[in-house]
Amino acid sequence: MNDSVSQFPPYREPDDSHGHDGHGDHGDHGHHEHFDPGFWSKYIFSTDHKVIGIQYGFTALCFLLFGFFLMLLMRWQIAHPGVPVPAIGPLLEKILGAPAAGGAISADLYNSFGAMHGTIMVFLGVVPLAFAAFGNYVVPLMIGAPDMCFPRVNMASYHAFFLGGVVMLVSFFIPGGAAQAGWTSYSPLATTIPTDGQAFWLIGMVLLITSSLLGAVNFIATIIQLRAPGMTWMRLPFFVWAQFVTAFLLLLAFPPLEAAGVLQLMDNLGHTSFFLPTGLAVGGQLAGRSGGGSPLLWQHLFWFLGHPEVYVLILPGMGIVAEVIANNARKPLWGYKSLVYSVLTVGFLSFIVWAHHMYLTGMGQRIATFFQATTMIISIPSVIILTCLFLSLWGGSIRINTPMLFALGFLPMFGIGGLTGLPLGLAAADLYLHDTYYVIAHFHYVVAPGTIFALFAGIYFWFPKMTGRKMNEFWGRVHFWCSFCFMNLVFMPMFAQGIKGMLRRMSDGAVNYSAAKVPNAIDTLPGNIMELNSWILWAAIGLGLAQIPFIVNLFYSISHGEKVTSDNPWNATTLDWQTPTPPPHGNFEHALHVVHGPYEYSAPGHPTDFTPQDEPLDLPGATPPPAVKPHTVH
Amino acid sequence: MEIPYTTEIRPDTGVYNAKLGIWLFLASEVMLFGALFSAYILLRVGAPPDMWPHGWLDVRFGTLNTILLALSAITTLLAWAACKVREFGKFRFFHGCTILLALTFLGIKSYEYHDKWIHYEIHLKDGTIADGHLVEQNDTEVVIHGRIVTDETKLYDLRAQKDIQLTELTIPRADIKAMENYAPRHNTFTAIYFTLTGLHALHILGGTCVIFYLWAFGGAMWRKDPERFTNRVEVSGLFWHFVDLVWIFLFPVLYLT
């Protein structure tokens, strides 16, 4: 293998890889001190993958916070239906007008908050942060590349994303307000609600899809083309594999939603009937459409994206957790190959499970049975990944620090989210649980204490590389423990509410529903289940307060954090730590040659407990071991 | 800083960056049009059997457009080959042809759109339907060049109706119950027809812009780095071939069935 590796052409021009005194007439890499663009081209129109990563990260964190505030308002409405929102109620009325009359949240406003909370969290928060921000910053560093394959496409990707976000936000202020048909935008509801918010939503989505398309092409091409010499496929860090599969999911799953979006846009603006059935009546009147469309078609196209999207949300998180665990357990990941093949299998299978979101649509028992089977099958590689991560801890000398705490928190939280998904994958159980708070609890466990914990781990982990300073450890731990407790206090009760039958989209927190008494039938919603609504509200407020240490820590540490003393403060093995801190334009100061796998921690006989990927493993006074043989656990 | 493999081929993958990029982009495009064709199939299968229109589009125009795009595929290939043998003049000639062919295609497509846009189905108060192309209209009457049918299903399948007599009909506004042109909203067929061909036309337009850019402003890069320019021609050509291929599917699906 080494022979084929050494046949690679030199990665850099020879005169550039030796010494930095020769001013080559092309390129300025290695001479980053001469690279001094103005503010606009440095921070706004930058083509540097690291700046773009930070742009994505900052924007996505803002959107996450905004989506969280939408959720707080909704939780207030659920706990206290119709009661004006304290403190910011008048402000809401001033900004949004009639839908927030008297400072209270009307049903329409609740619906648009619900739709936009989902949209913002998924498409403008978690995906940009997990895939675009970490992917942009870390992947080229990890594979030893000077930048992404297509730097200008990368910039265009961020700008399309930003524009999409702006369109989404603007829709709050148009007459009728933002989209109200849920983040899934089911037709015909999405076409018949009298607001143009849905058109804004669709145009925003088209921009976001364009952005992720450009990003996905760039990531895949970068990982395939720009791996440093010696960085063979099985030497890629698991994070890179996770991003690679994620990019394929985005590349292939998003276009059907774009197609669906174009069709729904035609329905909304061109008055076609792609998703509107014949004889559709709205408000007791015939809708005056030609009909002949299929509401089920929208759901198929939407969930063809929607389910791979779930793995887009989770796989980068798993990748981050794998890196943090390997680094802090000081031993190689257990079952690296199993992890790689599992993540590939998950990626493939995620394309053929989408209709398990549609058991209740009457699409037919045979189709349901097929998707039930594939859904059960996809849980196998997911469990393998989680098991490998758990087993990687066994026998390690574990360092507990903030990134590690978040990574460790991820494991059981994602476990709860995953296991509670199994009943939803079985058609019979899903008929009962569908559209209840049980579903909400399930997927929030996967994404909120799951992915978002992984993202926090990643922020604390790579912050020293981005800034040259560490974030404060004490406040990091406060952030972790408070978030951990409140996350569970928020989402655990929802399982109980869902099992008791509380439906997820009721703007009055099920007050009317629970008041309905059917003679000789099971009581609808008992009082103690309804009481949980206010418990959750307080837990959610607590969760919000728990983020204050993080926000302050993040900004304070940029300029006042403890300075790192080396380029590799965590003693990590992967190439992202073999750069100057912060990495200059062009990343690496010397030519790289990768000689072994990504997780050579605690190699026996080696003077340090970590061996970077570009540092040979041969040990003093010993015969060199076969360089590429993965180090295994005994 | 220089990105490796922008022009030269990476030996172990066998491609340069942009070529891989365009293939990935085309994979995504396949999924986009694949989803739209799937939607077409689902909508058509779900339609009542005698309600799906046949023969609404003029096969002659469709055939002509198919030939135009096929020729443009050839000229695109020749333009790339001219770059390979370093003959810039030939490149400009062939891609000049490509641009003209593409614009002719769009011209014909626009004519077809216009033809549908002025085609009206008018429901009269006596229960019959007047159907034809608008000649003129004012506040009191509408003049169309068409025919009157008693049964709406007669308007759907035009393949079997060999000798349709079209005459100039003057219809007073007072007799009209409802009047609608063959715009996307008319029925599912026009909706999917306009959407599919419209999206395809946008792709043609985009491809033409790229090719025009290479044709008009490519000289500088040609003199500096002909290999890189040739790669650009190849990559844009790959996109162009894909767009042609989409039409090869659109033509039978919309015109011939």
Q: Name the β-bridge partners of A77.
A: none
CB contact under 8 A, A217 and B3: no
B17-116+186-256 with B120-181: one CATH topology? no
Mean pLDDT of A602-626: 76
How many whole angstroms separate alpha carbon B18 and alpha carbon B6?
7
> Is the CA virtual torsion A239, A240, A241, A246 positive or negative?
positive
Query: What's the full length of chain A, in residues?
Result: 634
Closest chain B residue to the Cα of A304, Cα to Cα: B35
CB contact under 8 A, B195 and A292: no
Nearest CB to A259; choose among B2, B36, B47: B36
Q: How far is CA A189 from CA A203, A269, B46, in A?
A: 18, 15, 20
- pLDDT for A286 beyond 90: no
- Predicted local distance difference test score (pLDDT) of residue B199: 97
A252 contacts in chain B (CB < 8 Å): 27-28, 31
Choose which CATH entry (1.50.10.10, 3.30.460.10, 3.40.50.1370, 1.20.120.80) describes domain B17-116+186-256. Answer: 1.20.120.80
Q: What is the pLDDT of residues A477-520, one digit of tens each?
A: 999 999 999 999 999 999 999 999 899 999 998 888 888 777 77
With cut-offs at 50, 70 and 90, classify the pLDDT of residue A25.
very low
- Which of A226-240, A450-464, A598-612 shows the lowest per-residue confidence on average (mean pLDDT)? A598-612
Mean pLDDT of A25-54: 72
* Token pair 């998707």 in the structure block, residue: A371
ipTM, two decimals, is 0.96
Task: Please say whether the beta carbons of A103 and A90 come within 8 A.
Answer: yes
**Which tokens go with A370?**
């097929």
- pLDDT for A57 beyond 70: yes
Give A434's contacts (C-beta < 8 A, 6+ positions apart).
A359, A360, A424
- Predicted local distance difference test score (pLDDT) of residue A355: 95
Q: Which of A224, A258, A300 to mutate to test the interface with B (most CBs of B within 10 A)?
A: A224
Share of chain A above pLDDT 70, in %: 91
Q: Which of B24, B33, B40, B179 to mutate to test the interface with A (most CBs of A within 10 A)?
A: B24
Instruction: Tell me how far the alpha carbon of residue A89 is from its chain's centroid.
Output: 31
- Predicted local distance difference test score (pLDDT) of residue A39: 83
Q: What is the pLDDT of residues B18-56, one digit of tens each?
A: 999 999 999 999 999 999 999 999 999 999 888 899 999
A149 contacts in chain B (CB < 8 Å): 3, 17, 20-21
Q: Name the β-bridge partners of B149.
A: B129
Q: How far is CA A279 from CA A181, A287, A578, B47, B122, in A?
A: 21, 8, 65, 14, 20
Mean pLDDT of B232-241: 97
- Predicted local distance difference test score (pLDDT) of residue B152: 86
A13 contacts in chain B (CB < 8 Å): 2
CB contact under 8 A, A252 and B12: no
More confident: A19 or B245: B245
CB contact under 8 A, B24 and A216: yes
Closest chain A residue to the Cα of B24, Cα to Cα: A217
How many whole angstroms separate alpha carbon A157 and alpha carbon B191?
31
Nearest-CA distance B125 → chain A (Å): 18
Report which DSSP code applies to A360.
G
Give A219's contacts (C-beta < 8 A, 6+ positions apart).
A131, A135, A139, A148, A243, A244, A246, A247
Nearest CB to B43; choose among A12, A259, A294: A294
Closest chain B residue to the Cα of A47, Cα to Cα: B1
Q: What is the pLDDT of residues B52-103, one digit of tens each?
A: 999 999 999 999 999 999 999 999 999 999 999 999 999 999 999 999 999 9
- Predicted local distance difference test score (pLDDT) of residue A620: 54
CB contact under 8 A, A225 and B10: yes
A225 contacts in chain B (CB < 8 Å): 4-5, 10, 13, 15-17, 20
With cut-offs at 50, 70 and 90, classify the pLDDT of residue A350.
very high
CATH 2.30.30, domain B120-181, yes or no: yes
Among A558, A617, A506, A551, smallest CA distance to A105 is for A506
Mean pLDDT of B118-136: 95
Q: What residues in chain B have their Cβ under 8 A from chain A's Cβ atoms?
A: 1-5, 8, 10-13, 15-18, 20-21, 24-25, 27-29, 31-36, 38-39, 42-43, 46-47, 51, 183-188, 191-192, 194-195, 199
Q: Whole-model pTM?
A: 0.92
Give A509's contacts (C-beta < 8 A, 6+ positions apart).
A77, A78, A79, A81, A530, A533
Q: Which of A6, A143, A149 to mutate to test the interface with B (most CBs of B within 10 A)?
A: A149
B39 contacts in chain A (CB < 8 Å): 259-260, 263, 274, 297, 301
- Predicted local distance difference test score (pLDDT) of residue A345: 97
- pLDDT for A523 beyond 80: no
CB contact under 8 A, B32 and A292: no
Q: Which fold has domain A53-273+293-563?
A: Cytochrome C Oxidase; Chain A (1.20.210)
Nearest CB to B42; choose among A221, A272, A294: A294
Between A and B, how many CB-CB pairs are < 8 A?
146
Count CB-CB contacts under 10 A for residue A277: 17
- pLDDT for A165 beyond 80: yes
Mean pLDDT score across all residues of chain A: 90
Domain boundaries, chain B: 17-116+186-256, 120-181
Angle between helices B226-250 and B17-46 (to 10 degrees): 10
B11 contacts in chain A (CB < 8 Å): 7-9
More confident: A616 or B233: B233
More confident: A17 or B185: B185
How many whole angstroms separate alpha carbon A108 and alpha carbon A401?
45
With cut-offs at 50, 70 and 90, classify the pLDDT of residue B257.
confident
B12 contacts in chain A (CB < 8 Å): 4, 8
Domain boundaries, chain A: 53-273+293-563
Nearest CB to A290; choose among B5, B8, B187: B187
B38 contacts in chain A (CB < 8 Å): 301
Q: What is the pLDDT of residues A389-409, one digit of tens each?
A: 999 999 999 999 999 999 999
Mean pLDDT score across all residues of chain B: 95
- Predicted local distance difference test score (pLDDT) of residue A625: 47
Mean pLDDT of A234-247: 97
- pLDDT for A561 beyond 50: yes
Q: What is the pLDDT of residues A84-113, one digit of tens each?
A: 999 999 999 999 988 999 999 999 999 999
More confident: A209 or A42: A209
